[in-house]
């Protein structure tokens, strides 16, 4: 009987010892879960954790200790959404049981203790996760200009695409990275290809942030040089910051020690070319910002991985736009500028004689194509000795201007007068005996009359085109009078004449509204502005 009890005791001891050894004592007595509370420092902020329902201000969650890292999304209207990351880092009280492995020779020393040291179960999260205050968007003020991102591109050398590794969130925050040998070698490699992409998909992400900050002019249809800026963003350097656990370097251990999820943040160094309304450069500024940390499962598919990269890039765009907004404000560039009208002498020209027998086809002889460095626009002759009217945005910044006459003759032109507020320019060509159009001096032409637009839409091959519509309305904005029309207007028509049936110029074609469900809403600058803004006068 005694021998039987001894045998059962030793069998139980062997089984228990084997179980403890194979599991690790700390791992055996540790829980797979922990309850924590996520607390926002921003009042009334919404907290979203995984697929659970949102909660205001604070949220109690039960997290699995099978992963080192988790993220929670915190948001509030008018504030930058935060992707808050937290991790297992403190030793759990059950880690004290690791000392039991010392009593088990060989197995406990060489298997049980290392297992307890590496498994997530023997660690714990902070019970209270205090989420830092959200950063408020600084919306556009009433005395500040509107902004629109015109183009976003990547122009980075191969050596400016960099990877950094971290083994904790704190080390990431302190920029204390531990690059592995392979990463260091890759960062210094001279064989890496340069990256050059023009007009990336991130333009829409930047403009989405501009809209959030009220820098997109969604109400006014008449932006001008006084109230609008454009930005070109060029990404010059990209740094990928990976936060990972040390066991992530050994995939075979992940099966036993839990999922080694990674965090990623993307740092972008961006050159911002600040442009005025006519796309002329004002200055170049720089930003260098990091995105929040985004969670990537070690088993994520390629499409999931790419999506997280895109999320981190868009998050970075938010921070970069907020930074560039501050720099522009500090430099006073955002302030709306009221241009003082210059006192200039009038230019006198002969007044053309109206001919009631002329038809629309005859008036096309006065229509010209204005060819510039990056394309073309339209214009029209107003004097026999070579004065031509066009829209200023057609010729702005162009080093060479060429006027193509109705008979296909090409003549170089120079800008002799401009008004950036009204978007008008007066050109002069060395040519005589031209057929000028008569400029209307009427301040309020009749709404509903037939009108025609003459110009060169889309391509040079479509020169001497004409389209018909009606005068839809009279508008005034930014101290400029406009005519609204449903005449078909396309790119290239800008600067062309909007004429009445008798060939009198009512306005200068300048723009149209584009978008889903928008048709037949175009605008021309009233011809009276040619007299007022360019100081042109009839003898």
Confidence check: pLDDT of 493 > 60: yes
Round to the nearest angstrom and report the end-to-end CA distance of the chain: 135
Question: Over the chain, what is the mean pLDDT?
Answer: 83
What single-letter DSSP state applies at residue 357? T
Tokens of 420: 């950036």
Contact partners, residue 536, CB within 8 Å, separation at least 6? 346, 347, 349, 382, 387, 417, 426, 439, 530
Query: Residue length, the chain?
Result: 539
What pLDDT, in 10s, does the model give residues 346-378? 999 999 887 778 888 888 999 999 999 888 999
CA-based nearest residue to 56, from 46, 42, 65: 46
Check: CB of residue 39 under 8 Å from CB of residue 107.
no
Check: CB of residue 487 under 8 Å from CB of residue 360.
no
Classified as helix, coil or strand, 375 is strand
pLDDT band at residue 492 under the 50/70/90 scheme: confident
* Rounded Cα distance, 62 and 58, in Å: 14
* Rounded Cα distance, 425 and 431, in Å: 18
Question: What phi-psi label fits residue 453: left (phi over 0), alpha (psi between -120 and 50 degrees) or beta?
Answer: beta
Check: CB of residue 89 under 8 Å from CB of residue 70.
no
pLDDT score at 92: 56
- 202-212 and 302-330 helices, crossing angle to 10°: 50
What pLDDT, in 10s, does the model give residues 7-17? 554 555 444 54
Q: What mean pLDDT do residues 111-122 have?
A: 54
* Rounded Cα distance, 509 and 498, in Å: 6
Check: CB of residue 491 under 8 Å from CB of residue 461.
no
Return the higher-pLDDT residue of 303 and 22: 303
The b-or-e profile of 441-454 (16+ CB within 10 A means b, else e) is eeeebeeeeebbbb
pLDDT band at residue 68 under the 50/70/90 scheme: confident
What pLDDT, in 10s, does the model give residues 496-516? 999 999 999 999 999 877 767
CA-based nearest residue to 268, from 234, 307, 306: 234
Return the higher-pLDDT residue of 40 and 517: 40
The b-or-e profile of 340-363 (16+ CB within 10 A means b, else e) is eeeeeeeeebeebeeeeeeeeeeb
pLDDT band at residue 339 under the 50/70/90 scheme: low
Domain limits of the chain? Answer: 2-131, 146-330, 347-538
Confidence check: pLDDT of 45 > 50: yes
Token look-up 């500090």 returns: 330
What does the angle CA 335 – CA 338 – CA 339 come to, to the nearest 5 degrees? 125
Question: What phi-psi label fits residue 371: left (phi over 0), alpha (psi between -120 and 50 degrees) or beta?
Answer: beta
Confidence check: pLDDT of 218 > 70: no
pLDDT score at 42: 96
What single-letter DSSP state applies at residue 68? S
DSSP E strands in 323-464: the ranges are: 347-349, 367-372, 375-381, 387-390, 401-404, 410-419, 424-429, 438-439, 450-455
Estimate the share of the chain in helix, then strand, then coil, as percent rounded to the nearest 5.
25, 35, 35
pLDDT score at 256: 40
Confidence check: pLDDT of 74 > 70: yes
Lowest-confidence pick of 90-104, 175-189, 303-317, 459-473 = 90-104
pTM, entire model: 0.80
pLDDT band at residue 248 under the 50/70/90 scheme: very low
Q: What mean pLDDT do residues 68-78 have?
A: 93
What pLDDT, in 10s, does the model give residues 374-405? 889 999 999 999 999 999 999 998 999 999 99
Q: How is domain 347-538 classified at the CATH fold level?
A: Thrombin, subunit H (2.40.10)
For a pLDDT cut of 70, what percent of the chain falls above it?
Answer: 81
pLDDT score at 334: 94
**E strand or H helix at 324, and its extent?**
helix 302-330
Confidence check: pLDDT of 265 > 90: yes
């Amino acid at each position: 009987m005694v021998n039987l009890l001894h045998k059962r005791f030793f069998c139980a001891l062997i089984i228990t010892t084997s179980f403890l050894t194979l599991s690790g004592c700390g791992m055996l007595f540790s829980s797979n879960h922990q309850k924590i509370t996520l607390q926002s420092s921003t009042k009334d902020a919404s907290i979203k954790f995984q697929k659970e329902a949102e909660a205001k201000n604070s949220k109690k969650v039960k997290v699995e200790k099978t992963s080192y890292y988790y993220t929670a999304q915190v948001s509030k209207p008018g504030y930058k959404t935060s992707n808050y990351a937290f991790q297992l880092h403190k030793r759990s009280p059950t880690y004290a049981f690791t000392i039991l492995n010392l009593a088990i020779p060989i197995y406990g020393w060489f298997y049980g203790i290392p297992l307890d040291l590496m498994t997530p179960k023997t660690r714990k999260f902070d019970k209270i996760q205090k989420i830092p205050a959200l950063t408020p968007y600084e919306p556009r003020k009433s005395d500040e200009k509107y902004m629109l991102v015109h183009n976003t591109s990547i122009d980075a050398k191969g050596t400016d695409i960099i990877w950094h590794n971290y083994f904790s969130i704190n080390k990431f925050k302190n920029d204390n990275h531990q690059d592995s040998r392979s990463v260091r070698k890759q960062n210094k490699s001279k064989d890496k290809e340069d990256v050059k992409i023009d007009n990336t998909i991130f333009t829409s992400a930047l403009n989405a942030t501009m809209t959030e900050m009220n820098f997109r002019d969604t109400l006014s249809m008449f932006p001008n040089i006084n109230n609008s800026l454009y930005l070109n963003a060029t990404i010059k350097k990209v740094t990928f910051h990976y936060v990972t656990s040390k066991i992530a370097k050994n995939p075979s251990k992940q099966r036993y020690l839990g999922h080694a999820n990674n965090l990623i943040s993307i740092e972008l160094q961006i050159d911002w070319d600040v442009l005025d309304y006519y796309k002329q450069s004002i200055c170049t500024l720089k930003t260098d910002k990091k995105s929040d940390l985004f969670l990537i499962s070690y088993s994520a598919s390629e499409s999931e991985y790419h999506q997280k990269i895109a999320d981190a890039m868009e998050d970075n765009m938010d921070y970069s736009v907020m930074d560039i907004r501050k720099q522009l404000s500090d430099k006073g560039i955002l302030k709306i500028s009221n241009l003082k009208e210059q006192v200039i002498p009038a230019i006198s020209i002969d007044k053309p004689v109206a001919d009631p027998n002329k038809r629309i086809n005859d008036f096309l002889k006065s229509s010209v194509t204005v060819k510039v460095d990056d394309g073309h626009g339209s214009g029209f002759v107003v004097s026999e000795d070579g004065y031509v009217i066009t829209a200023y945005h057609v010729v702005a910044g162009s080093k060479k201007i060429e006027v193509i006459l109705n008979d296909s003759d090409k003549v170089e032109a120079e800008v002799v007068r401009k008004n950036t507020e009204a978007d008008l320019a007066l050109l002069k060509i060395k040519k005589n005996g031209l057929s000028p159009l008569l400029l209307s001096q009427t301040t309020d032409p009749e709404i509903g009359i037939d009108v025609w637009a003459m110009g060169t839409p889309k391509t040079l091959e479509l020169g001497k085109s004409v389209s018909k519509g009606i005068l839809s309305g009279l508008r005034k904005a930014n101290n400029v009078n406009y005519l609204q029309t449903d005449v078909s207007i396309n790119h290239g028509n800008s600067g062309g004449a909007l004429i009445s049936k008798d060939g009198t110029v009512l306005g200068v074609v300048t723009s149209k509204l584009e978008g889903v469900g928008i048709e037949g809403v175009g605008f021309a600058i009233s011809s009276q502005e040619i007299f007022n803004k360019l100081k042109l006068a009839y003898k």
